[in-house]
Amino acid sequence: MAIKIGLLGFGTVASGIPFLLEENKDKIVAASKETLEIAKVLVKDEAEKDRLLSAGNHYNFVTNVDEILSDPEITIVVELMGRIEPAKTFITKALEAKKHVVSANKDLIAVHGSELIALAQKQGVAFYYEAAVAGGIPILRTLANSLTSDKVTRILGVLNGTSNFMMTKMVDEGWTYEDALKTAQELGYAESDPTNDVEGIDAAYKAVILSQFGFGMAIDFDAVSHKGISTITPDDVAVAQQLGYVIKLVGDIQETESGISAEVSPTFLPKDHPLASVNGVMNAVFVESIGIGESMYYGPGAGQKPTATSVVADIVRIARRLSDGNIGKSFNEYSRPAVLANPEDVKSDYYFSIITPDQQGQILRLAEIFNQENASFKQILQQKSNGKEAQVVIVTHRLSKTQLAAITEKLESDTDFKLLNSFKVLGK
C-alpha cells in the first residue's frame, strides 16, 4: 500500500514535488521500499482550489487542515506554507496526531525548533527539514551523519540565494536593486516577505540551525547579529575590488575558547577564497574542522526543483525508516549546552569607511582613535579628497568585538568623522 502524504501549501517548492515523484519514480520507490502518493493538499480557500484545478493540478485540494490532520491514512505531513503561524500550530497538531513531518520552514525551526523536536521525540515520530538550510545542498545530513567523527570549529556560509543572486546581478551586470529583487521573486528564490532575504534575517535563521547541527548548540535567534545586503553601497563594492576582495553576505558560526558566536554580515572575502566565487543563486557552506580540515558544500540555495529535491529526500528517508522499522530517531543527535562566546574572544580583521574633513592631521587623529583601542592598520587608503572632505578606508588587523564596539562608538561620537560602514574582512 502507498504511503500517503498531506501537503500543507502548494506554492513554489510544494508544486515541484510531483515532478520528482513522477520523473524519478523508480529510484524513489526502490529507496523508499514503498510507493508515495500525494493524498491531499491544503490550500487557503476555494478560489485558490478552483484556480489550481483549472490549471490542470488534479489533486484532492482541501481548505480545512483538519481534513489532513484527522485522516488516519495520511502518514507524512509536508509543511511548505512558510512563516510562523499557522505553520507552527499545524505542525504541532500533526506531531500530536503521530504523523511524521517534513518542513523547509527555517523561520519556524530557528525560533521554535527545540519545542517541535522535543514533541516529535516524545511522539516517536520523525521531524526532518533538510531543505531549511541552503535549499538543494544536503548540508544538514552531511553535518549530522558524515561529519559525526569530526569536530567542527567554524562554519562560514553564503546562505541566502536571493541576496547572492541580487549582489551578483548588481555588481557584475549593473542591474538595479529593484530589478534584481523583482527577478529573484519571479524565479521563486525570495521569501514571501523578501525583507528576510535582504536584511540577513533568513541567513540568520539558517545560522541558528547550522549551530545545532555543526556544534550541537541550540542558540536563540536573538543571539545571531545580522546585517543584510541593503547596507552595502556601490562605493564599498568598488573599494573591495580595489583592495583585492569580493563582498558577500556571509553567515559565520565559530566556537571560541569561551563559547559559540554566530552572525550574518556583509564580509570582504579575499578574491581567492573559495566562497568568493559563489555567485548567483548558488550557496556554499565552508566548514573548518579538526579532522577534514577545510571542506566546502556547494549548490543552489533556492529555487523550486533544488529545494523540492531536499524535501523529497526527507520524505523518502521517512518512508524507508518506516519500512525498516527504525523511525523516530532524531534528525540531529548532537546536543550540548549552548554557551555564547565572550565578545573579547570573537576576532576578525575589519574594514572601515570614514568621511573626514580634508585637512592636515585627520589621519593622525584617526590613528589615535584606533591606537587607543590597541588596533593596528593593515591597509589604509585615502580617496575622493576634494579640499572639503575625504574618504578614508582602513582595514585593520584582528580586532575583538569589544574593540570594534569601542572604536565604532568613538568614531560615531566624534563630530569630525562620519562612519559610513564597517564590515568584517576575512584574513588573506
Check the CA dihedral 292-428-339-140 and report its sign: negative
Residue 303 contacts which entry, ligand HSE, ligand NAP, none (Cβ below 5-8 A, type-dependent): ligand NAP
Residue 197 contacts which entry, ligand NAP, ligand HSE, none (Cβ below 5-8 A, type-dependent): ligand HSE
Amino acid code (one letter) for 370: F
Q: Using CB under 6 A, which residues numbered 20 to 79 contact ligand HSE? A: none
The helix, strand and coil proportions of the chain, stated in percent and rounded to the nearest 5, come to 40, 25, 30
Cell digits for 79? 509543511
Cα–Cα distance between 127 and 142 in angstroms, integer? 17
Which is closer to ligand HSE, CB of 160 or CB of 348?
160
Amino acid code (one letter) for 320: R
Residue 137-176 contact track with ligand HSE, rule CB under 6 A, x = bound: -----------------------xxx--------------
Asked whether position 191 contacts ligand HSE by CB under 6 A, the answer is yes
CA angle 350/354/359 to nearest 5° reads 135
Cα–Cα distance between 313 and 305 in angstroms, integer? 12
Q: What is the CA radius of gyration of the chain?
A: 24
Residue 73-102 contact track with ligand NAP, rule CB under 6 A, x = bound: -------xxx---x----------------
Which is closer to ligand HSE, CB of 189 or CB of 213?
189
Cα–Cα distance between 269 and 65 in angstroms, integer? 46
Residue with cell 484556480: 51
Minimum separation from the CB atom of position 277 to ligand NAP (A): 21
- 271 in active site: no
Residue 299 contacts which entry, ligand HSE, ligand NAP, none (Cβ below 5-8 A, type-dependent): none
The 8-class DSSP code of residue 342 comes to P
Residue with cell 521569501: 191
Amino acid code (one letter) for 86: P
Check the CA dihedral 285-348-423-199 and report its sign: positive
Asked whether position 308 contacts ligand NAP by CB under 6 A, the answer is no
Among 25, 27, 33, 44, binds ligand NAP (CB under 6 A): 44
Which is closer to ligand NAP, CB of 259 or CB of 306?
306
Cell digits for 94? 500533526
Among 5, 17, 42, 101, binds ligand NAP (CB under 6 A): 42
Asked whether position 109 contacts ligand NAP by CB under 6 A, the answer is no
The 8-class DSSP code of residue 340 comes to B
Asked whether position 188 contacts ligand NAP by CB under 6 A, the answer is yes
| Residues engaged in binding ligand HSE (CB under 6 A) | 135, 160-162, 189-191, 197, 202, 301-302
Give the catalytic positions in this structure.
206
| Residues engaged in binding ligand NAP (CB under 6 A) | 9-14, 42-44, 80-82, 86, 104-106, 131, 135, 188-189, 191-192, 302-303, 307
